[in-house]
Structure 1
Amino acid sequence: MNISILQEAFSAFIRTHGLERHFQRLAVFDIGKRSEADNALASTLTKKLISASNTPAEALLYSLGTHADGLTELQVASIREEAGFNEVGQAKILRWWMHLWHCYKNPFSLLLTVLATISYFTDDAKGAIVIGSMVALGTLIRFMQESRSNKAAEKLKAMVSNTATVLRRSVTEDVLGTTREYFSLPEQRHQLHKIEIPINLLVPGDIIALSAGDMIPADVRLLTAKHLFVSQAAMTGESLPVEKFTQQTVEDISNPLDRDNLCFMGTNVISGAATAVIVSTGKNTYFGMLADRVLKTDRSPTAFQRGVNEVSWLLIRFMLVMVPMVLMINGFTKHDWWSASLFALSIAVGLTPEMLLMIVTATLAKGAIYLSRKKVIVKRLDAIQNFGAMNVLCTDKTGTLTQDKIFLERHTDIFGVASDNVLDYAYLNSYHQTGLKNLLDVAVLEHVELQSKLNVASCFRKIDEIPFDFQRRRMSVIVSERDDRHLLICKGAVDEILSVCSNVHMHGTTSALTSELLERIRKVTGALNEEGLRVVAVAARECRPNTESYDVKDEAELTLFGYIAFLDPPKESTAPAIDALQRHGVKVKVLTGDNDKVTAKVCREVGLAFDAILLGAQVEAMSDAELAVAVENYDIFAKLTPLHKERIVRALRQGDHIVGFLGDGINDAPALRAADIGISVDSAVDIAKEAADIILLEKSLLVLEQGVMEGRKTFANMLKYTKMSASSNFGNVFSVLLASVFLPFLPMLPLQLLVQNLLYDFSQVAIPLDNVDPESLAMPQRWNSGEIGRFMLFFGPMSSVFDIATFGLMWYVFRANSPDTQTLFQSGWFVEGLLTQTLIVHMIRTRKIPFVQSRASWPLLATTATIMAVGIFLPMGPFAEYFNLQALPLSYFGWLAAILLGYMLLTQAMKSFYARRYGWDSAPPKRMLRPRKISIGSGEGVISQ
C-alpha cells in the first residue's frame, strides 16, 4: 500500500473518530503512558531527532553518508536494503487462514456452532452436519467476497500515488567508492538530477525539495528555508501553521515537534520553499510511531457504519423481545424445555440478517469497481454511501466550473490601456519564483518571446523571493539587472497590492496614490471583473543593493504599474452537470477565493441561480449561529480564505446536511477534511489528495454526477436487503409465535428453520447486482432505523396472515393435526414459508408492480428461482428424511398457488397504501432554504443578480 493511503487513513482517524487525544503534542514522546518496548523506541526516536536538530548541517550530511547534492542510485539501493521502503506501519495483510478465522468469528457463526455441537451430543448427527454446513458455507461466502472486494480496493488505491522532488547524482562507474571518496569527487565527475519519484522509494540521506502544497514525505532536517510555513495540525492539533528555519534558536527544547529546523512526515507545506535531508523514513518516523498506535487501537465506526449498527441494534431489540416469548410459550405449552430452548435459539438466528455485512461489502465493492470505470477512484469504500447521500456539494470555481486552462487576456496600465511594461514585470515575477506556480503563472510564462526580449537568463539575477501565502495573497521576487540596484516586483490580488502601494506609474512618471486615483483604479478593475476577467495587480520598487535577504516588511511603498487580466471560461459540461445534480436533490454551492464579480459572471453563465454573494470578510465577522443561517440562504461565497471554507462546510454539516467538497488546491485541504465526503482530482496538490475520500481522474461535474447516482444505487440495494430480510424474518418469527400458542407440536423444527433461513439468504446474494428504479435514485437517502422498524412492523405480520392460512390448510384439509402427523404439517409450512419469503424479494425491491413495471436483474431472478425450486425439491426428493420432512400431496400445490397469489396481491395493495402515507424510500434530508438577501454582521450580502 502506498504512503498516501496510509496518510489519508491516519488523518481520517484523527479528524473523524475522536482520537485526537492520542495525537496531540507529546503523544509519542510522553513515554510514561507506553509499554517498555514503546518507551525504548520513543526514547530512541527522540534522541535521534534532537541530535539531528543540533548537529551542524555538514556534519549531519556526513553522518548520514550523503552529500548536499544528494545520493547516487547505488547508494540509495544500499541504504534501502538496510532501512527498507518509506512505508509506515500498516495493517498487515492477513494470511488466508487468519482471514478465514476473522470471517468465522462473529456472533451468528458462534451461535450456529453451539447449536451444531448440541445437536451432535444429543445424537442428532444429521442436524449437526446440516448446521455445520451452514456455518461453513456462510463463512466461505464471506471469505471469498471479502477477498475479492479487498483486492479490488487495493487495485483502486494503487492508482492514487504521490511523488517527491529529490536530488540524485549519477557518478561514472570508475570513480565509485566509499562514502568518503565520494565526498571528495571533483564537481565534473558527477551530474546533479532533480527528479520526481514515488515517496515510498525515498531513503535516509536523500535531499528533497519542498514547496507550497507538498506533503512532507519523511522526518527531515531543513538545510535551506525561505518563509517556510508548515501545518502540523495532524500531529499537534494546532490549527495555525508554524514557521520553520534552518537553525534551532533555543537548544534546550526537548520536544522535537517544537524544534524550528525539523519537519515531520504527514505534515504539509502551507507556503514557502525549502530543501531538507531525510533523517528517518517509514516506521522509524514520528508519523510511523503514531500510525502504529492507531493500528493498535480499535477503529471507531464511521458515519456509514454507525447507520448499519443502528439497524443491527434495532434487530437485536426485536430479538430480545421475541426470543424469550417463544421460549416461554413453547416451554409451558409443550413441556419440553430442551426443545423449546433449541427452537428459541433458532428463532434468534432466524431474526438476524446473517448476510447483511456480506451484502454491504459486495455492494460497496461493486460500486467502487463501477466508479473506477467512470474515472472515479474510491479510496475508502464506505465513502460510496456518503456519495449517494450527499445533498449539498460545495465546489471551488477555478478549474471546476471553469476550464483548467487560463488565458492571459490583457496587460494594461492603471487606466486600462495596453502596456508591455506591465507584462515584462509580470513575466520576471513568474519566471523567477520557485514556489507553487499556479495557472496564472503558467499563462504568463506562455509568452516565451519575452525570455529573449528581456534576456532573463543573462541580464537578470535573482536575489531573493517572498513566497505567496493566503493571508497576504501576493508574492514578490527581487532581481538585479545592474549591480547598483535591486528591483522588487510584487503581484497579487488587487486589494492586497493596493494596501502596500503609495505611488502609481502613469504617463511615464511616478505619482502619489491619491483617493481620486484609487477610486478610478477600482472602477477600471471593477469593469474588468464585470467582463469576467480575473485581475492581478503588478507593482514594483527599486531597492538599494545592501542586502541579500528580503522579508514581508519590504513589501511597502510600492508603485502600482498596472494589471494583468486572465480569462477563465466556463466548461461546456458545467451547466448540464449542475442542472442534473440539482434535479437529483444535490444543492451546488460555490466556495471560492476569487472576487465576487468574476464569480458572479461565471455562475450566471453556467446557470447557477443566486440572489446574493457572501464575502469572506462577512463570514469572518459572523458568529457560528449567524453563519448557520447564512449558509442556508447563500449559494455563492467569494473572497474566502481556507479557514472560511472550512467554517462554511462545518456549518452546513451542523445543519443536518450531508456535505461534499470538491477542491484541488492547498486552500481546499481544510474544507476537504471537514466535509462528509472530500472529493479531489488526480492533478491536485498532495495535501488535497490526502484529505480526499474520492479522487476524480477527470475534473468534471458530469463525472461527479455519475458517481452520485452510483452511490445512490449502491445504497438502494443495501437498503433493499435490510428491509426484505428484516420484515420477512420478523413475519416468520411472528407466525412461529402464534403457532406455538395453539399447536401441540413445534410448527417447524430448529433444523428446518435454519435451513429455510440459509436458503432465503442465498436467494439474495445477487442483490448487489440488482436494477434500481429511477424513482429510488431521484433524491439522497440515508440510513433511517426508525423507518426500517416501521417497515418491519408493517410488512412482517402481513405474511403471517398467509402463514396462518397455511396452518389451517394443513390442520383441517390435510389432517396434519397431531404429533404423529407433525412432519407433514412442518413440510407444508416449510415450503410455503420459503416461497413467500423468496417472493418478498421481488415484491419489496420496488414500489411498482413486480415483473411488469419493474423487473429484477437476471442474476437475482436466477437465484430466487433456483432457491424456490430447491425449497420444493427438499420435501419431495430423496433428502427429505435428513431434514425431517416428507413428500406433500400434489393437491397441496394448487392451494399453495392460491396462497402465493393472494400474498402478492395483498402486498402490492399495502405497498401503495404505505408509500402514500409514509413514502417508499428513506426520508430525504431537510429542504434547503430559499436563497435570499439578508443583512449579517457589519455589511449586507453583495447583490449580484
Structure 2
Amino acid sequence: MKRTIKDNEMLNKEIAERLIQSSTMMEEDLMEDLNTSPDGLTEAEARKRLDQYGKNVIAHEKTPAWYLQLLGCFKNPFILILIALGMFAYFTDDPEALITISTMVTISVIITFSQEFRSAKTAEKLKALVKTTATVTRINDDSNYEKKEVDLEVIVPGDVIHLAAGDMVPADIRLIASKDLHVGESALTGEAMPVEKMDTLPRGVFKLAHKHQPKPTNALELGNVCYMGTNVISGSAKGVVVSTGTKTYFGSMASTLIGTPTLTSFDKGIKSITFVLIRFMFIMVPIILLVNGFTKGDWWEALLFGVSVAVGLTPEMLPVIVSANLAKGAAVMARNKVVVKRLNAIQNFGAMNILCTDKTGTLTQDKIIMEKHLDIHGHEDKKVLEYAYLNSLHQTGLKNLLDVAILEHAELTEVLGAERNDKKVDEIPFDFNRRRMSVVLENSDIGHLLVCKGAMEEVLSICSHVDDNGQIEPITKEISEKAIMLVNELNADGLRVLAVAAKQFPVREETYGLKDEKGLTLIGYLAFLDPPKESAVEAIRALKENGVDVKVITGDNAAVTQKVCKDVGLPFTSIVLGSDIERMTDEQLADIAEKTNVFAKVNPLQKARIVRVLKGKGHTVGFMGDGINDAISLKEADVGISVDTAVDISKESADIILLEKSLMVLEKGIIEGRKTFGNIIKYIKMTASSNFGNMFSVLVASAFIPFMPMLPIHLLIQNLMYDISQLSIPWDQMDKEYLKTPKKWNAKSVSRFMVFIGPISSIFDITTYCLMWYVFSANSVEHESLFQSGWFIEGLLSQTLIVHMIRTRKIPFIQSRASLPVMLLTGAIMAFGITFPFTSFGSSVGLQPLPMSYFPWLVATLLSYCVLTQIIKTWYIRKFKEWL
C-alpha cells in the first residue's frame, strides 16, 4: 500500500529516533536490545530474521507490477492524442475511424508494454549477474563463528558487519570497533568530503563522558553510525546492523534521493522532437480544416478529415521503436558480456569519443607477479620479503593485487610462517592521499614493530634512516639520489616498485595513528611486473579505428606508465603528472587534456577533474575503472564503465559493467550502442520528414481538389500500414561506415533533414494528383473514389519505400541492402497497398480497383521518386557532411 506524505514523515522520525538511540546506547545494551552478540548471529537465526524483516532492499527499486507498467504506456503524449481523437470518433458515430484508431493504439501499447516488460525482466537478470556482497560474522552449525561473504539482500538486523576500503555500507550500522575510518556520505547528505567515523568510547567512560552532554538531535550527524548507501573511503571497522531495507535512513528517503533520472542529451532530443511534431500538428490541422471547410463547403466532412490528418501526423510508434531498440541493444550487449544497468546509457556508449582508463587490468593482464625483493643497494634480501609478507598478511583493509602477489611469492619461500613470532597490535589503513599502509606487530624480543609498505616517494618522505646490511644509518642526499636512481631503472624496465620501511616502539597501550608514521628506517624495495595484455595492441587500434581516443589516467609513476604504453602501441608525446595538474586552471587543463593521452601519478579528484574538463569541451567521455579511487570519475563521466570484479562502490557508480575486463569486449559494446542509436535516428528522421511532406501534399490537395482527396478512413488505414512497416527497424543493420565514428544527438540535424527531405514526397504526390486528374479523368465528385484509390496506393508505397531510401547514405538495394525482417515487412505492406483497393474490404471503405494502365505510371513515379531522393541525398551529404 502506498504511503502518504504524513506516513513518510512519521517513518522518518521513527527511524531517526532509533538511530539516535542506538548511537547513545552502551555496546552491551545494544547487543541485548538486538538479541545478538559481538560474534554475530547463528545461521538459523539469520534465516528466521530474513523471513521476519524481509530482504535488505529498497522498495522503490522493485519492478512495477505488470498492470502499472501497462497503464504507464498510456502516458505517452502521442497515445493520449490518439485516445482523444478516438473518443471524438466515438461521439461522432464514425465506427471505421474508431476501429482504426483503436487498432493503432492497441498495437502501439501492446508492443511498448511487451518491450518495456521484457526490458525490465532482462535488466533484473543482468543485474543478478553483478553481485554486491558484504562481510559478516555468522555462527555456523558447529557453534564456531566465521567471517563470510553474503549478498547484501540477506543481511538482517543484528548481523555483525566488517567494513574495509571500497565497501558499500549495506545497512544502518552502529560501529563497535573502527580504525581510521573515513566514509563518503555524498549520496545521502551531498557532503563531498569524506566523514571520519569512530566507535564509541571504552565501556564505562561513555556514560561518564556524556553524562552532561545533550542528546544528539540530527540523525545524520552521528559519529559512530554508518548509513546504508554510503561507502568506505579508507580505514576499517566492525559494526552491528541496526536496521535494513526500507527501515534504514536511506530507504525512508529513497524516493527523494533518487528522484527523476538526469536526462541525457538523447532523452532531451527525443522529448524536443516529440513536442516539435505535436506543435506542428496543432498548427497544420486547423489550417487544413479551414481550407477544406471553405473550399468544399462540408464542414463536418472537413472536421473528420482534419481528425484523420492529426492521426496521420501522430508518430505513435516512437516509444515502441525507442524501447525496442534499447532492449535489443541491451540483449545483444549481454551476449557480448556487457551488462547495461541503465538502458539509456547505450546511446552515450555509442556517442563516446574519448575513453579514459586506468592502466592496470585494462592494458595489462591484471595478474601481478612479484619479481624482486631488494635491499637499498639493489641486492636480493630475504628481510625485505619477510617484512612485506607480514604487512600484507596482517592488514585487514582492501587487499589489492600487490598484496596477493606478495603472499603468493612468500608461499614459495622459507618466509612462510614468519608470522608465528608476532602478534598484530594495530594497523594504520591505506588511503589514497598517503598511498601507504602500516601494521604494528608485537614481538617478545623487540617490543612493537611498525611495518610500512607503499609508494616509493610517499614512504621515502617519512624515512630518516636506512638499513645498510644490518647497520642503521641516517639518510643522506647521496643515499636518497641512489635510491631514486635504482627505482627509476626498475620503472624503466616496466616494474612497479613499492618501498618497505619499519620502526621499533616500546610496548604501549596507546593506539597507533598517522603521527607514528615518521622517522622510519628504509628496509628495501619490492618490484612487481604486470605484463601487458597480448590483445591490448589490437584493442587500442580497434578503438582508434572506431573514433574513440584512449587516454590512460593512472596513479602509477611516469616511467612504468611510459613503458607499458610503448609495449601496447599507444602513441604519446608527453606525460602529464598529477603535480602538474594541481597548478593548472580548468581552462589550461582542458586544452592540455585534449592533446595529451597519458596522465600519471594522478589522484582520484584529479581523475574526475580531467573527465569534467573534457566533457566541458563537448566530448562524450567514458571512464573505465574498478577501484575505490575511480568512483568519483565513474559518476562524473557520460558513461561509467566498470567490471564485475570491481569494488562495490565502482560497480554501484557505473552505468555499464563488463563481465570480461577487455577492451575488445568494450569495442563490441560501443558498436552495438551506435547500431541502437542509428536505428532510432532512422525512425525519427523518416517520421519527421514524412509528416512534413504529407502536410504539403494534403494542403495542396485541399486547396485545389473540389472533393476530399482521401477519406478519413483511407488516411487512417494508410498510416496504420506505414506504422507496421517500421516495426522491423530495430532489427535492421547499419552501414559499416556509419559505425566507424561516434554518434551524438543533434536536434538541428533532425530539423534540417525534415525541411530538405520531406517536400520530395510532395512533388510526386502532386504529380499523382495531375495523373489522376488529367490522364484518368478523376476530376469530379463522381470519380472521387478513383482519385482516392490512386493516391492511396502511391502515398502508401512511397512512404514505405522511403524506409529504404533513408536507412542508408548509399544507393539502396544496390550498395546497401536492408535486413531480411525489414525487406519482408516493407514488401508485405507494399503488396497490401497495391491489392487493397481490389478487395471487398477496400470497396467497403470507398476504394475501387484501378485500371492496369495506372501501374506503369506508378512504377515510373516510384522510380523517379527514388532517383530524385538519391540526387538530393548526395547533394545533402556533400553540403552538410552527414545523413543519419
In the alignment, what sits opposite 1:648?
610
What is the Cα deviation at residue 753 of structure 1?
1.2
What is the Cα deviation at residue 263 of structure 1?
0.2
- Tell me, yes or no, if the aligned pair for 2:390 and 2:419 is still in contact at 8 Å: no
Measured in 1, the distance between the counterparts of 2:638 and 2:350 equals 11
Measured in 1, the distance between the counterparts of 2:564 and 2:76 equals 54
Measured in 2, the distance between the counterparts of 1:133 and 1:316 equals 21
What is the Cα deviation at residue 170 of structure 1?
2.5
The code of the aligned residue for 2:155 comes to L
Measured in 2, the distance between the counterparts of 1:567 and 1:299 equals 42
What is the Cα deviation at residue 91 of structure 1?
4.8
Whether 2:107 is the aligned partner of 1:137: answer yes
What is the Cα deviation at residue 231 of structure 1?
0.6
More off after superposition, 728-737 vs 557-566: 728-737
1:691-706 matches, cutoff 5 A: 691-706=653-668
In the alignment, what sits opposite 1:316?
278
In the alignment, what sits opposite 2:19?
49
Whether 2:531 is the aligned partner of 1:595: answer no
Task: Give the secondary structure class of the aligned counterpart of 1:475.
Answer: strand
1:280-299 matches, cutoff 5 A: 280-294=243-257, 297-299=259-261
What is the Cα deviation at residue 451 of structure 1?
7.6
Measured in 2, the distance between the counterparts of 1:91 and 1:170 equals 32
1:139-538 matches, cutoff 5 A: 139-171=109-141, 190-247=143-200, 252-294=215-257, 297-449=259-411, 453=415, 455-482=417-444, 484-538=446-500
In the alignment, what sits opposite 2:878?
916
The code of the aligned residue for 1:293 comes to T
Task: Give the secondary structure class of the aligned counterpart of 1:224.
Answer: strand
More off after superposition, 121-130 vs 760-769: 121-130
Measured in 2, the distance between the counterparts of 1:712 and 1:510 equals 62
In the alignment, what sits opposite 1:16?
none
The code of the aligned residue for 2:93 comes to D
Residue 761 of structure 2: which of 783, 796, 799 is its match? 799
Measured in 2, the distance between the counterparts of 1:275 and 1:199 equals 16
The code of the aligned residue for 1:170 comes to N
More off after superposition, 559-568 vs 136-145: 136-145
1:864-879 matches, cutoff 5 A: 864-879=826-841
Measured in 2, the distance between the counterparts of 1:705 and 1:221 equals 44
CA 1:233–1:114 in structure 2 vs 1: closer, same or farther (change >3 Å)? closer
In the alignment, what sits opposite 1:636?
598
What is the Cα deviation at residue 395 of structure 1?
0.1
For the aligned residues, what is the CA RMSD? Answer: 1.7
More off after superposition, 910-919 vs 94-103: 94-103
- Tell me, yes or no, if the aligned pair for 1:486 and 1:544 is still in contact at 8 Å: yes
What is the Cα deviation at residue 743 of structure 1?
0.9
Measured in 2, the distance between the counterparts of 1:449 and 1:194 equals 23
Aligned residues: 871
Deviation per residue, 1:351-406 (Å, 9 max, x gap): 23211111111111111111111111111111111110000000001111111101
Measured in 2, the distance between the counterparts of 1:725 and 1:882 equals 29
Measured in 1, the distance between the counterparts of 2:732 and 2:516 equals 66
Measured in 1, the distance between the counterparts of 2:600 and 2:865 equals 58
In the alignment, what sits opposite 2:516?
554
Task: Give the secondary structure class of the aligned counterpart of 1:434.
Answer: coil
- Tell me, yes or no, if the aligned pair for 1:202 and 1:281 is still in contact at 8 Å: yes
What is the Cα deviation at residue 81 of structure 1?
2.4
Deviation per residue, 1:240-295 (Å, 9 max, x gap): 11111111776533112211100001101111111110000000001101213357
**Unmatched 5+ residue regions in structure 1?**
1-33, 173-189, 923-945
What is the Cα deviation at residue 454 of structure 1?
5.8
In the alignment, what sits opposite 2:584?
622
- Tell me, yes or no, if the aligned pair for 1:314 and 1:785 is still in contact at 8 Å: no
More off after superposition, 675-684 vs 163-172: 163-172
Measured in 1, the distance between the counterparts of 2:523 and 2:168 equals 36
CA 1:320–1:241 in structure 2 vs 1: closer, same or farther (change >3 Å)? same
What is the Cα deviation at residue 510 of structure 1?
1.3
In the alignment, what sits opposite 1:75?
45
Measured in 1, the distance between the counterparts of 2:115 and 2:707 equals 40
Measured in 1, the distance between the counterparts of 2:262 and 2:558 equals 41
More off after superposition, 769-778 vs 80-89: 80-89
The code of the aligned residue for 1:142 comes to T
Measured in 2, the distance between the counterparts of 1:783 and 1:882 equals 45
CA 1:251–1:205 in structure 2 vs 1: closer, same or farther (change >3 Å)? farther
What is the Cα deviation at residue 305 of structure 1?
1.0
Task: Give the secondary structure class of the aligned counterpart of 2:575.
Answer: strand
Measured in 2, the distance between the counterparts of 1:90 and 1:119 equals 39
In the alignment, what sits opposite 2:204?
none
More off after superposition, 480-489 vs 93-102: 93-102
**Unmatched 5+ residue regions in structure 2?**
202-209
- Tell me, yes or no, if the aligned pair for 2:265 and 2:745 is still in contact at 8 Å: no
Deviation per residue, 1:707-741 (Å, 9 max, x gap): 11111111111111111121122212211111111
Deviation per residue, 1:810-851 (Å, 9 max, x gap): 111111112222121111101100000000101111111111
Deviation per residue, 1:406-449 (Å, 9 max, x gap): 11111111121222221111111111111111111111101244
The code of the aligned residue for 2:245 comes to G
Task: Give the secondary structure class of the aligned counterpart of 2:273.
Answer: helix
Measured in 2, the distance between the counterparts of 1:299 and 1:346 equals 36
Measured in 2, the distance between the counterparts of 1:450 and 1:134 equals 72
Measured in 2, the distance between the counterparts of 1:805 and 1:392 equals 49
Measured in 2, the distance between the counterparts of 1:606 and 1:54 equals 56
Deviation per residue, 1:508-562 (Å, 9 max, x gap): 3111111121111111111111111111011111111123521111011111111
What is the Cα deviation at residue 484 of structure 1?
4.7
Residue 819 of structure 2: which of 845, 857, 862 is its match? 857
CA 1:472–1:94 in structure 2 vs 1: closer, same or farther (change >3 Å)? closer
Measured in 2, the distance between the counterparts of 1:35 and 1:119 equals 41
CA 1:702–1:299 in structure 2 vs 1: closer, same or farther (change >3 Å)? closer
Deviation per residue, 1:467-513 (Å, 9 max, x gap): 10011111111112225511111111111111101111113311111
Measured in 1, the distance between the counterparts of 2:508 and 2:262 equals 58
Deviation per residue, 1:136-174 (Å, 9 max, x gap): 2222222222222222222212212211111111346xx
- Tell me, yes or no, if the aligned pair for 1:350 and 1:733 is still in contact at 8 Å: no
What is the Cα deviation at residue 799 of structure 1?
0.9
Residue 103 of structure 1: which of 70, 73, 83 is its match? 73
What is the Cα deviation at residue 313 of structure 1?
2.9
Task: Give the secondary structure class of the aligned counterpart of 2:821.
Answer: helix
In the alignment, what sits opposite 2:710?
748
What is the Cα deviation at residue 300 of structure 1?
4.9
- Tell me, yes or no, if the aligned pair for 2:136 and 2:160 is still in contact at 8 Å: yes
Measured in 1, the distance between the counterparts of 2:340 and 2:861 equals 46
Measured in 2, the distance between the counterparts of 1:191 and 1:421 equals 36
Whether 2:674 is the aligned partner of 1:708: answer no
The code of the aligned residue for 1:534 comes to R
- Tell me, yes or no, if the aligned pair for 1:776 and 1:921 is still in contact at 8 Å: no
TM-score (norm 2): 0.96
- Tell me, yes or no, if the aligned pair for 2:876 and 2:883 is still in contact at 8 Å: no
CA 1:298–1:343 in structure 2 vs 1: closer, same or farther (change >3 Å)? farther
Deviation per residue, 1:22-51 (Å, 9 max, x gap): xxxxxxxxxxxx932222111111110000
Moved over 6 A (4+): none
Measured in 1, the distance between the counterparts of 2:286 and 2:426 equals 80
Task: Give the secondary structure class of the aligned counterpart of 1:695.
Answer: strand
The code of the aligned residue for 1:151 comes to K
Whether 2:695 is the aligned partner of 1:733: answer yes
In the alignment, what sits opposite 1:123?
93
